[in-house]
Amino acid sequence: MVTRRAVVLGGGAALLAAGCGKDEVLSPPPAEPALLRALAAERALGASMAALDQPRLAQRSRERATRLAAELSELGARPHDAPAPEARADIAAGLRRGHAALEAYVAALPALVTRSRRGLGADLLAGAAGDVALLGNAFGTPPADPFPGTPS
C-alpha cells in the first residue's frame, strides 16, 4: 500500500533530483589569487616593455598594475605579494610575458563576479592585448593568433 507520506517523499526526491546533475551551480573561485597572478604577469610585462625601450607601453602597463593593486587592496589582499621581476631587452621573452599576461587576465575573468570587477578585468585584458600587439608590431612581429590569451 502506498502511503501519502511515501508519495510526498517520492515526489520531493524526484524534484530535487531534477535540479541536480548538469545544472549544478558551482561557486566561483576567489578573486584574490586570480588578480594576484594577473598583477605579477602585468608587472613582468611592464618590466620587459621598459627594458625594450617602449616607455609609452611601459607607462600604460604600470597604470594597469596600479588599478589591479588598488582592487586587491580593496579585497583585503596584499599587492606586494605579486613579484616584480627584472627584464632584459629580449623581444621574444617580452612577447612570452605578453602572452602570459593575457592568459592571466582571461583566466581571472570567471572569478570576477560583480559587474564592476568583471568590467575592470575586461578593460585590463583589452588594454593589455592592444599593447602586446603594439609591442610585437614595433619589433616586426604583429599578432596572428585569433584567440590571444587562450589558456595553454
Per CB under 8 A, 51 contacts another protein: no
Per CB under 8 A, 30 contacts another protein: no
Interaction mask 74-113, another protein, x per CB under 8 A:
----------------------------x--xxx-xx---
Closest CB to another protein among residues 78, 139: 139
CB of 110 to another protein, least distance (A): 4
CA distance 48 to 68: 18
Per CB under 8 A, 118 contacts another protein: yes
Contacts of 125 (CB under 8 A, 6+ apart): 102, 105, 106, 109, 149
CB distance 71 to 117 below 8 Å? yes
